[in-house]
């Protein structure tokens, strides 16, 4: 044990192992008296469980208040877990006025002496918005440089042992995303990465598909330098980066399909394993995802994706953090939070009824929609100068147009309760009677969700056909206002509960929603319920909700719409789709309980 003067003690305490013995390494546990900014002299300690705590010894004179002769000190926090510390800094200059010093503190910091600062940057949950993370900072001071430097070294050493925290990131910034504030958003959060000593290579995109082309051209050696890729933009921008990555690194069979669908493809009816990953044989890529009949070869172990919201809807961020807040997302990225995310593979076989079969693979992380959803995106492209308001304007125009499309859809049925048929009754009754009694119990996906964190090896898709309870294909043909496949809940500013409130992030299923042709007023009722908190947009006679399906196929007839994949346009006359459970990992923690 060393005594560094002024009651500052540096103790090296051995840490016991799980059997009660002494572990091979000793962890330095520091105990010292320092001055906490705006509080006073405190005894600071760090225990073996990673709890940084301090005890007030003497308040600063300027912070005392008298009431009826009773002297009080300000109410402040007395501890922080290292798990909630995202950075620690050493500042080697500064002065503290004598008037702010109590008598004992003068022993630590003499008048007009050079002092040194230990700055702890932490994270805490907002009391007003439990889904948001806010910045927290504690400044400790001492005249002994070694005391402060030792604290910095010790805390950094402990933080470095948390291997999940990233060190190097590739960051793509979309300057035109949302309200064209992508660059400003990054400038606001970049100091967080600098303080946390996370090195970032920033690429500001200059054209459409710029990020896609960079990811497509990146070699394994280049990507292995990074712990992950971060998108500063919206869902469409993330989709661009995701497709550029998975088109090279994901190996999977084409989606399953019913017999008549396969026969229509002719020579392309072979749905065996295909591989767009031309670089997958470059050697061991660190980890290999082997579930759901696919392989994902990562550039390095623990490679993840992140999103800092700067888009028009930011549904993926809202569903994975609970808040559309760049600070929250940035903090969860630097602290290495992790949540698995389902990804849907979509294969276009024909662009028109007359075109040749030319398989084209795309991926979606949140939503794939046809009809109304595709028409809105197509219309909104004409009004990009309006910013996010273009979706409201385009949506109104498309709604008034009220166009339906002829299509045939086949759904892979997983269990007997996957569909929710409408009870009988008058066909003119557009809303179910006793709606409150018929509402399904919604199990919302939250942080540490038991469904999403279950072992993927026992998921329904990982099981052989004879074990996963598949009941074959259900086919539907008719006119539809919209067809939507929700991979996650798809919460956003226009749909606070999302399209499917109880969809999960990584359960290996999609929710297929077919909106049959109906009077405009009835469809308006569906949209109003969608825009309402605690609404029930799926509880209508003209809505078919096929819950928890792993695959579906689609064929259009006559005039066609266009598909909307995470906000990106995708022309397809005939396609098939399947979901892969937890295919990627996202820098996020999941919405709080």
Contact between residue 486 and residue 499 where contact means Cβ atoms under 8 Å apart: yes
Outline where DSSP puts E strands in 206-249.
228-233
Structural domains in the chain plus CATH codes? 2-162 (2.30.29.30), 169-586 (2.60.200.40)
Pairing status of strand 199-204 against strand 228-233: unpaired
CA atoms within 13 A on the CB side of 134: 8
Give the 3-state DSSP-derived string for 247-288, with helices as H, strands as E and coil as C: HHHEEEECCCCCHHHHHCCHHHCCCCEEECCCCCCCCCCCCE
Distance CA(522)–CA(541), nearest Å, equals: 10
pLDDT of residue 391: 86
pLDDT of residue 510: 95
pLDDT of residue 532: 94
DSSP assignment letter at 5: S
pLDDT of residue 462: 38
Distance CA(375)–CA(563), nearest Å, equals: 8
> For residue 293, is it left (φ>0), alpha (ψ between -120 and 50) or beta?
left
Q: How many helices (H) and strands (E) does the chain have?
A: 13, 30
Q: Please give the distance of CA 575 from its chain centroid, rounded to a whole number.
A: 27
pLDDT of residue 454: 79
Instruction: State the pTM of this model.
Output: 0.85
Distance CA(275)–CA(257), nearest Å, equals: 19
Q: Find where tokens 């402990």 sit.
A: 158
Contact between residue 494 and residue 385 where contact means Cβ atoms under 8 Å apart: no
What is the b/e burial string over 444-466, where b = at least 16 CB atoms within 10 angstroms of the residue's CB? ebbbebeebeeebeebbbbeeee
pLDDT less than 70: residues of the chain:
1-29, 60-76, 94-113, 269-293, 415-441, 455-471
Both tokens of 258, joined, read 């019913």
Contact between residue 585 and residue 338 where contact means Cβ atoms under 8 Å apart: yes
pLDDT tens sequence across 132-173: 999 999 999 999 999 999 999 999 988 988 778 999 999 999
What is the DSSP code string of 359-385? -EEEEESSEEEEEHHHHHHHHHGGGGG
pLDDT tens sequence across 173-184: 999 887 888 999
* Residues annotated catalytic, as ranges: 235
pLDDT of residue 543: 97
Contact between residue 493 and residue 313 where contact means Cβ atoms under 8 Å apart: yes
Distance CA(237)–CA(186), nearest Å, equals: 15
pLDDT of residue 286: 55
């Amino acid at each position: 044990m060393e005594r560094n003067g002024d009651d500052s003690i540096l103790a090296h305490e051995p840490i016991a192992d799980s059997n009660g013995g002494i572990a091979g390494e000793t962890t330095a546990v520091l105990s010292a008296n320092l001055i906490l900014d705006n509080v006073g002299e405190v005894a600071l300690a760090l225990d073996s469980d990673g709890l940084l705590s301090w005890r007030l010894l003497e308040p600063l004179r300027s912070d005392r208040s008298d009431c009826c002769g009773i002297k009080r000190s300000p109410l402040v926090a007395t501890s922080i877990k290292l798990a909630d510390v995202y950075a620690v800094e050493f500042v080697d200059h500064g002065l503290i006025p004598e008037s702010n010093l109590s008598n004992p503190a003068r022993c630590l910091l003499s008048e007009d002496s050079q002092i040194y600062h230990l700055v702890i940057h932490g994270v805490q949950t907002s009391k007003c918005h439990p889904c948001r993370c806010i910045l927290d900072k504690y400044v400790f001071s001492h005249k002994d440089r070694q005391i402060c430097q030792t604290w910095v070294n010790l805390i950094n050493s402990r933080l470095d042992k948390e291997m999940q925290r990233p060190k190097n990131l590739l960051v793509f910034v979309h300057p035109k995303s949302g309200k064209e504030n992508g660059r400003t958003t990054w400038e606001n959060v970049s100091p967080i990465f600098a303080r946390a000593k996370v090195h970032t290579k920033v690429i500001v995109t200059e054209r459409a598909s710029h990020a896609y082309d960079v990811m497509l051209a990146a070699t394994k050696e280049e990507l292995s330098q990074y712990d992950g890729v971060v998108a500063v933009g919206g869902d469409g921008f993330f989709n661009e980066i995701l497709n550029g990555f998975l088109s090279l690194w994901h190996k999977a069979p084409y989606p399953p399909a019913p017999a008549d669908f396969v026969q229509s493809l002719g020579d392309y009816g072979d749905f065996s394993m295909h591989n767009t990953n031309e670089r997958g044989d470059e050697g061991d890529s660190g980890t290999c995802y082997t579930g759901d009949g696919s392989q994902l070869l990562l550039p390095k172990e623990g490679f993840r994706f992140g999103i800092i919201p700067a888009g028009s809807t930011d549904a993926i961020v809202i569903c994975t953090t609970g808040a559309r807040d760049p600070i929250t997302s940035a903090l969860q990225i630097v602290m290495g939070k992790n949540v698995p995310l389902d990804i849907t593979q979509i294969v276009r076989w024909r662009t028109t009824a007359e075109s040749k079969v030319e398989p084209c693979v795309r991926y979606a992380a949140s939503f794939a929609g046809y009809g109304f959803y595709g028409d809105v995106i197509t219309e909104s492209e004409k009004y990009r100068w309006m910013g996010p308001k273009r979706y409201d304007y385009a949506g109104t125009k498309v709604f008034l147009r009220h166009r339906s499309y002829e299509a045939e859809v086949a759904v892979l049925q997983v269990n007997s309760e996957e569909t929710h048929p409408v009870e009988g009754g008058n066909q003119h009754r557009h809303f179910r009677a006793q709606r409150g009694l018929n509402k399904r119990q919604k199990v919302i996906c939250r942080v540490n969700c038991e469904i999403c964190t279950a072992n993927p090896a026992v998921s329904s898709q990982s099981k052989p056909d004879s074990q996963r309870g598949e009941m074959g294909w259900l086919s539907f043909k008719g006119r539809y206002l919209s067809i939507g496949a929700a991979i996650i809940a798809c919460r956003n500013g226009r749909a606070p509960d999302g399209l499917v409130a109880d969809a999960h992030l990584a359960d290996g299923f999609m929710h297929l929603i077919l909106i049959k042709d109906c009077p405009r007023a009835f469809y308006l009722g569906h949209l109003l319920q969608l825009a309402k908190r605690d609404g029930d947009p799926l509880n209508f006679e003209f809505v078919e909700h096929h819950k928890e399906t792993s695959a579906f196929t689609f064929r259009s007839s006559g005039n066609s719409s266009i598909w909307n994949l995470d906000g990106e346009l995708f022309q397809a006359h005939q396609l098939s789709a399947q979901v892969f459970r937890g295919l990627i990992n996202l820098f996020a923690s999941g919405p709080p309980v």
